[in-house]
Structure 1
Amino acid sequence: NRILTDRISDYLFCPTPQAQKNLIEEGFENFDCKIEVVGDVMEDAVRFYSKKANKVSKILTENKLEEYVLCTIHRQENTDDLDRLTQIINAVNEISSTIQVVLPLHPRTKAIILKNNLQLNAKIIDPVGYLDMLNLTKNAKLVLTDSGGLQKEAFMLKKFCITLRDETEWVELIENEVNFLAGADTKKIVSLALNKLKTTFTCDKNLYGGGKASEKIVEYLLKTT
């Protein structure tokens, strides 16, 4: 779907230079379209809605959350592979002996855990909406996830992220040492998590446009249409 949508578009607005490079390598310079790096509209949304989340979200008080690690697990490569899922859960259980792990549990992941009688020692909560997730991320000490978007949101909210995958599309986060690939390796997940819990987040690089992507898109369209 992404390739098809790109192919029929007149304008392709890229979140990063790497994304632009990917399109060029796919041959999009030979098509009748414009390719521009403008930043990531996700950062626009995070900056705008995180202020609202502070006022609206009650997720922290309702669940009596103070110091915690935020974790999400939903990707099929993890949930459909029992060995990978078991290793991730073992890591969560070990980290939980040091600091509370909060896990908004996807119904599909929950069903697989129950079916296989896996023991999960974490604070399980129901899936949450966008504002609650922003508030959870903003106040977490660390993020563990196999999500694509949450990797970026963690960075935008100045949190280290341990990615429960073997690769990521957001290579700039890896290069700037704010995101770390751990796959489903229990020891690696735990080691990285315990290390980053002791480390201060200091990266202040503007990797995704600084919340100005929407403005740049509008300005570009007004100039060219």
Structure 2
Amino acid sequence: MTGMTEHVQPLVMHVTGARPNFPKAAPVLAALADLPVRQLLVHTGQHYDERMSEVFFRQLGLPAPDVNLGVGSGPHGAQTAAIMVGLEELVLERRPDLVVVYGDVNSTVAAALVAAKLQIPLAHVEAGLRSFDLTMPEEINRLVTDRLADLLLVTSPDAIAHLGNEGVDPDRIHLVGNPMIDTLLRHLDELDVDSARTLVGLPPEEPYVVATLHRPGNVDDPADVAELVAAVHGVADQVRIVIPLHPRGRERLQAAGLLDHERVLAAEPLGYLEFLALVQGSVGVVTDSGGVQEETTVMGVPCLTLRPSTERPVTITHGTNRLVTRAQLPAVMAEVLSAGRAAPGTTPVPPLWDGQAGPRIAAVLARHLGL
């Protein structure tokens, strides 16, 4: 009709870049699809290997990214800067009404800095997690992103306390649950343990442990790597251990003799469904990853975390997780193997880890956008 202007729906820009982001973003994108908003999915290309990135989009039903910045790997400063350059240009061009970031990777903090400097409102999914270990690059990313965010979407009550202690306005904090658990619960019935065993070359019926190890504190220093390999071999003396080798640290671990033990089985990085199926069929997990601590909590799989601290203490108080040192690992694994896995449904699960975090997040974002 003449004289009337067409109402333009608000634009929400989602910034993802690394493997841990994708299962967190999928439920949010799906929930927002039912609302009168436009969505722009940006993949920075921080993880660019097929097994580390693109396979996740296929398996999680994520739409193909609208933009892929293709920054690739590199030192923290160079990678973060490259992401900022690409995002700044994109934000100036598209002028989103809201930028949504996920987790604690370099793409997250880069997007937070760009949004803040260009005065675009910012929502941080998985806000408030703290390890209190400033040697972790992820901890720096968390602190900076939360300081800049307008909406802090938290997965657990301890995160609310951390943000409160840092002086964050309570009105900006929203307990929404864990969207990564939405994705896990949605795909739980699709996990094919037998196919995953075959994929990595495990003999039928043999018990096994899964390990994921890539943190700088475990794989950067040669002395740490030597200790880690000795600890892994101590586990392998008791049970087969399968390790999908992350590109980070792969050469150092192999050079230190990781594969010299006959019961250590290396695998390439796996897709989302294949990895979770492998975890589902295991007798336990050894990890230094944050997300794996959460997934094992919901799946009821014993998890030993090779770190001095965790930003996810709720996985210890309401889950199956336990912090161990490298020296402790073989003995604690012996306890795990002796106890066996708990019966399904008998381990506690954190509040609101119920598969509905995506809709809760979408509701918070919609209110912010005035919908």
Which interval holds the TM-score relative to the shorter structure?
Answer: 0.7 to 0.9
Q: Structure 2 counterpart of 1:6, which letter?
A: D
Map 1:63-212 to 2 at 5 A: 63-65=201-203, 66=205, 67-117=207-257, 120-121=260-261, 122-176=264-318, 178-185=320-327, 188-199=328-339, 200-201=341-342, 202-212=346-356
Is the contact between residue 225 and residue 256 of structure 2 (CA under 8 Å) also seen in structure 1? Answer: no
- TM-score for the superposition, normalised by structure 1: 0.87
Match of 1:48 in 2: 186
Q: Name the Cα RMSD after superposition.
A: 2.3
Post-superposition, which runs of at least 4 consecutive aligned residues in structure 1 deviate over 6 A? Answer: none
Distance 1:82 1:104, change over 3 A: same
Identity rate of aligned residues, in percent?
29
User: Which one has a bigger Cα radius of gyration?
Assistant: 2
**Higher RCO (CA-CA < 8 Å; seq separation 6+):** 1
**What is the count of residue pairs matched by the alignment?**
220
Bigger fraction of residues in helix:
1
1:79 partner amino acid? V
Equivalent position to 2:195, from 58, 82, 102: 58
Structure 2 unpaired stretches of 5+: 1-108, 110-141
SS at match of 1:112: helix
| 1:23 alignment counterpart | 163
- The CA distance in 1 between the partners of 2:179 and 2:209, in whole Å, is 26
Deviations 1:48-90 (A, max 9, x none): 12333339x9322232354210011111111012222222221
User: Residues 222 and 137 from structure 1, CA distance in 2 versus in 1: closer, same or farther, beyond 3 angstroms?
Assistant: same
- Encode CA deviations 1:104-138: one digit per residue, 9 max, x unaligned: 11233221134445554201111112111111111
| Residue in structure 1 matched with residue 20 of structure 2 by the alignment | none
TM (normalized to structure 2)? 0.54
User: For residue 60 of structure 1, what is the amino acid of its counterpart?
Assistant: R
Structure-2 change in CA distance of 1:81 and 1:110 (3 Å): same
Cα offsets for 1:160-183 (capped at 9, x unmatched): 110111111111222346211112
Aligned to 1:218: 362
CA pair 118-219 structure 1, distance change in 2 beyond 3 A: closer
Report if aligned partners of 1:92, 1:120 keep a CA contact under 8 Å in 2.
no
Residues of 1 paired with 2:258 and 2:280: CA distance? 29
Q: Which whole-Å CA distance do the structure 1 matches of 2:213 and 2:331 have between them?
A: 19
- The structure-2 alpha-carbon separation of the partners of 1:118 and 1:140, relative to structure 1 and needing over 3 Å to count, comes to closer
